[in-house]
Structure 1
Amino acid sequence: MKQQQSCVVLAGGKSSRMGIDKALMPFKDKASLSAYVTDKLSSIFKEVYISAKNNKFNNAKLNQSIKFIADESNESSPMIALASILHYFNEPVFIQPVDMPFLKPDSIKDMSKLKDDFEIVIACEAERDHVLCGYFSPSVADKARKLAKDGKHKIKELLKICDVVRVELSGDNEGINLNNPDDLKKALSYE
């Protein structure tokens, strides 16, 4: 049963290390990584959105219920993308990068339990924060927009000025990011 309201898949990155657009590359049994991730999230959330600078998903074989959110600017900036997304919501929204396909529903549920008590709830592992994976309150949109206007585009800058909690990922391979062809090759062997 779907208990969560909304989530957004971030799919507007440059993919420069991968050499091809990660969001559109085939993955496992799906026509695209976007389809793989949005299909998984559709079993958890009532509404699933995908965010990018432009709607490039005509051939990505996404479920027809997936909605598109355009970035407010063509500039490649995670801060601008976040501000653009939060503009659409009046409650905390779950955000997941398209290149993090192995996140488990239990981890999302653990983060969800804290979403009303903090401005930002992010996933983490012992060695790193996953700064764009978690729940974000719409109240941080103006802070994100101001940081972007001031030339600060790293999400870590936003974390410094918001009420943030980190939730440790516990599953194997949950925090893996597909950044280059070697990461992709390894990921294709995971269940």
Structure 2
Amino acid sequence: MIKQGELTGLILAGGQGRRMGGRDKGLEIFAGQPLVMHVRERLEGQVSEVLINANRHLDAYRPLAARVIADVEEGFQGPLMGIYSGLLAATTPWLVVVPCDSPALPHDLVARLVASIGDADIAVAFDGERLHPVVALIRTSLADDLGEALSGGERKIDRWYARHAWCRVDVSDCPEAFANLNTEDEKRRLELTLQEETPRQ
């Protein structure tokens, strides 16, 4: 079984937020605190270190994580570049990747990923209908292979995963937890939903 000391957490917050009018999604206030803080709470105490991958407002992110890392290549090249940057920055054998705009992720997400990895190199959340490729557990020794794929022009996460031994992690009991917020309306709707729900134990 993979132990806490073998895991680094990575929150992907390096996008351009185009569907939110170019705003930095990780710093958007949701239920009273930045979105990235809700996500960090899902990782704290379950990984050895929490990193934030950001390409803007680095000073604002620095108090919110152990380390803030920018993409190793400029130009907002997408989440696969953020994952690569995290794999390079991690000092542990495994990297837990989550997006900054999914504030309702399960509190036991890390345990679920670890329990499902088996002999695979990558474990990806699957809600019963679709995969969530930016919610994953990845072996950090794959960094060099991902670097080669990026150099060859690859930017699709699922195509890179398919090159390796990967598995689905069944999270079909809580598919709503993987909703990500791309618009102001989606943010307001989820805030209202969470306010109406009874707090989970």
Common fold: TM-score over 0.5: yes
- The 1:58–1:39 alpha-carbon spacing in structure 2 relative to 1, beyond 3 Å, is farther
Deviations 1:65-114, CA, capped at 9 Å, x for gaps: 53112210112222222111101234111110001121112232111123
Structural RMSD (CA): 2.0
> What is aligned with 2:131?
129
Trace 1:2-81 onto structure 2 (pairs within 5 A).
4=4, 5-19=7-21, 20-30=23-33, 32-54=34-56, 56-59=57-60, 62-63=63-64, 66-76=66-76, 77-81=78-82
Unpaired segments ≥5 residues, structure 2:
195-201
Query: Deviations 1:169-189 (Å, cap 9, x if unpaired)?
Result: 122521101111221111111
Measure how far apart 1:49 and its partner are: 1.0
Q: Would you say the 8 A contact 1:10–1:51 is kept in 2? A: yes
> What residue identity is the alignment partner of 2:125?
A
Select the structure that is richer in helix. 2
Residue 120 (str. 1) matches residue 122 (str. 2): yes
* Cα deviation 1:22-62 (Å, max 9, x = unaligned): 111111121x11222223422433311111224x2434584
Distance 1:59 1:92, change over 3 A: closer
Alignment-derived partner of residue 83 in structure 1: 84
Change (3 A) 1:172 1:118: closer
Q: Distance in 1 between matches of 2:52 and 2:118?
A: 23
Normalized against structure 1, the TM-score is what?
Answer: 0.87
Residue 45 of structure 1 aligns to a residue in which SS?
coil
The counterpart of 2:185, out of the listed 178, 182, 187, is 182
- Paired with 1:122 and 1:18, the residues of 2 have a C-alpha distance of 26
Distance 1:61 1:143 in 2: 29
Residue identity matched to 2:26: A
Alignment coverage as a number of residue pairs? 186
2:36–2:103 contact (8 Å) kept in structure 1? no
* Cα distance change on mapping 1:116 and 1:83 into 2, 3 Å: farther
Q: 1:13 to 1:59 in 2, by over 3 A?
A: same
Q: Could you say what secondary structure the match of 2:89 adopts?
A: coil
Instruction: Tell me the residue number matched to 1:152.
Output: 154
Equivalence for 2:94:
92
Q: What is the identity percentage for the equivalent residue pairs of Structure 1 and Structure 2?
A: 26
Q: 1:159 to 1:35 in 2, by over 3 A?
A: same
Relative to structure 1, the CA distance from residue 180 to residue 164 in structure 2 (aligned partners, 3 Å threshold; closer, same or farther) is: same
Indicate how the Cα distance of structure 1 residues 57 and 135 shifts in structure 2: closer, same or farther if over 3 A, else same. Answer: same
Aligned in 2, Cα 1:41/1:117: closer, same or farther, shift over 3 Å? same
> For residues 172 and 156 of structure 1, what CA distance do their matches in structure 2 show?
19
Shift of residue 154, structure 1, vs aligned partner: 1.0
